[in-house]
Structure 1
Amino acid sequence: MIVPSHAMILAAGRGERMRPLTDTTPKPLLKVAGKALIEYHIEALVRAGVSHLVVNHAHLGEQLVDFLGDGGRWGVSIVFSAEPDGALETGGGIYRALPLLGGGPFWVVNGDVWTDYPFASVSMSADTLAHLVMVNNPPHHPQGDFLLDHARLRSNGVGARLTFSGIGLYRPELFAACPDGAFPLAPLLRQAMAGGKVSGEHYAGRWLDIGTPQRLQDLDKALRGRDAAGV
């Protein structure tokens, strides 16, 4: 079993679909139930044993740096990976941050999702390059992303697909042949899947892609209702 001590939260996106909210505030700092989205991830990762956290940033990145500081108030060490205007896409952002991620398997979490996924130890064989958390297809993405077959993920084939949650555990070796610069993560994952090197799990708990102001408002209402009920 692997218990990662390092994690990365992806926070460099522009958040175009969330405008005008993201014109003045980075998407991970938007609040639900009185707490910034990114704080939910930090707290969950710390509970799972993460002690070193990397946060990448581009758009309004100074606000993230000012808000998060060194991470001391959450009991975690936070360092930042600055990216140029326009950011580096997911793959490029992770590759740029590799020197900060400890050399072993590390979690990566999209900063614009909310979930109650319990980050914990994961069984991951030595030849597995990535382990992805998959969720039921949301209404805005009914076609899904990948096939989960006996705990392995495939990008091709016949069968019901699940949606990638934006939560994954990665080995640095997945990025070994990558160049510095902007590039997407999906082609790397598909290539590794073709070699049988990507495992997965289906998480049926709560997960939401905060892609629009309406979804943010709906989540805020749901969490405030839960807190009021003492759940």
Structure 2
Amino acid sequence: MPASSPDSILIYAAGFGTRMGPLTRDMPKPLVRVGGKPLLDHALDVVDRAGIPRKVVNTHYLGEQIADHLAGREDIRISHEMPEILETGGGLRHALPLLGPDPVFTLNTDAIWTGSNPLGQLLSAWDPTRMDALLLLVPRARATGYRGKGDFILSPDGRIGRGPGEVYTGAQIIRTDLLKTIPETSFSVNKLWDLTLAAGRTYGTLHDGGWCDVGRPEGIETAEAMLTEGGLV
């Protein structure tokens, strides 16, 4: 990979999965199955196909189940958050000793993808001379299972601003040096985006395929239908 390109990724797997209701009472959401395979494994397939060598999975809720599931993967390090969950921003900062120098990829596990590899698309569009953060977005019309109004407005020059518009897919490349300026221990990555947005160095690029939010139980069937339609199951 060229200089200033990421070679590490944090895969988010620490959350409580409360929107999944009883499905996550005794199982962490990343182990919920879609198309016969845990969501975490779908995410790892994306990572493996992108060829990212340094992989970190963060855990908290029922983290021992995720650790057991990954026991055969010697290429994956676990960043376990105790005693408190650290949210997406705090979790990223906690994992930095395992991730190495910035920038890094991050990827949520509660989504299913079709089309080009999302991480490959990010890498192709990444320009460290202009960007501190590059978010992969999807048009609202192609955000299957998503109920909101959108997250960001994408400008013609690629910069983004907050507001109803394109939907954040949960995949990004981001510089991490500004994390040291945030005083809280547990905080959302939104606080880091606030800093990169204020500097005018937050960009977006559109995913070329399908994306399905699997945050709720009904999202499982919807995601499986999308995979079937794409010939992936």
The SS at the match of 1:4 is: coil
Q: Which residue of 2 aligns with 1:126?
A: 129
Contact 2:9 2:105 in 1 (8 A): yes
Looking at structure 2, the residues matched to 33 and 53 of structure 1 have their Cα atoms a distance apart, in angstroms, of: 24
Looking at structure 1, the residues matched to 5 and 201 of structure 2 have their Cα atoms a distance apart, in angstroms, of: 19
Q: Does 2:171 match 1:173? A: no
The SS at the match of 2:194 is: helix
In the TM superposition, residue 226 of structure 1 has moved relative to its aligned partner by 4.9
Stretches of structure 1 lacking an aligned partner (at least 5 in a row): none
In the TM superposition, residue 89 of structure 1 has moved relative to its aligned partner by 1.0
Q: Which residue of 2 aligns with 1:196?
A: 200
Greater than 6 Å deviation, 4+ residue runs: none
Looking at structure 1, the residues matched to 188 and 35 of structure 2 have their Cα atoms a distance apart, in angstroms, of: 32
Q: Does 2:209 match 1:205? A: yes
In the TM superposition, residue 190 of structure 1 has moved relative to its aligned partner by 2.4
Q: Which residue of 2 aligns with 1:102?
A: 100
Looking at structure 1, the residues matched to 151 and 32 of structure 2 have their Cα atoms a distance apart, in angstroms, of: 27
Contact 2:56 2:78 in 1 (8 A): yes
Alignment of 1:72-111 (within 5 A): 72=74, 77-84=75-82, 87-111=85-109
Looking at structure 1, the residues matched to 135 and 183 of structure 2 have their Cα atoms a distance apart, in angstroms, of: 23
The SS at the match of 2:65 is: helix
In the TM superposition, residue 146 of structure 1 has moved relative to its aligned partner by 1.2
CA RMSD between the two structures: 2.2
Q: Which residue of 1 aligns with 2:223?
A: 219
Looking at structure 2, the residues matched to 144 and 181 of structure 1 have their Cα atoms a distance apart, in angstroms, of: 28
The two structures have a TM-score, normalised by structure 2, of 0.86
- The alignment covers a number of residue pairs equal to 222
Contact 1:143 1:161 in 2 (8 A): yes
Q: Does 2:150 match 1:152? A: no
Can you list the C-alpha shifts for 1:68-91, whole angstroms capped at 9, x where unaligned? 12524xxxx111111135511111
Q: Which residue of 2 aligns with 1:183?
A: 187
In the TM superposition, residue 10 of structure 1 has moved relative to its aligned partner by 0.5
Stretches of structure 2 lacking an aligned partner (at least 5 in a row): none
One-letter identity of the residue aligned with 1:53: K
Deviates more, 1:10-19 or 1:130-139: 130-139
Can you list the C-alpha shifts for 1:82-121, whole angstroms capped at 9, x where unaligned? 1135511111111111111120321101111222351223
Looking at structure 2, the residues matched to 99 and 163 of structure 1 have their Cα atoms a distance apart, in angstroms, of: 30
Deviates more, 1:175-184 or 1:211-220: 175-184
Q: Does 2:67 match 1:65? A: yes
Looking at structure 2, the residues matched to 80 and 180 of structure 1 have their Cα atoms a distance apart, in angstroms, of: 22
Q: Which residue of 2 aligns with 1:51?
A: 53
The SS at the match of 2:105 is: strand
Deviates more, 1:143-152 or 1:118-127: 118-127
One-letter identity of the residue aligned with 2:137: M
Q: Which residue of 2 aligns with 1:28?
A: 30
Percent identity over paired residues: 33
In the TM superposition, residue 194 of structure 1 has moved relative to its aligned partner by 2.0
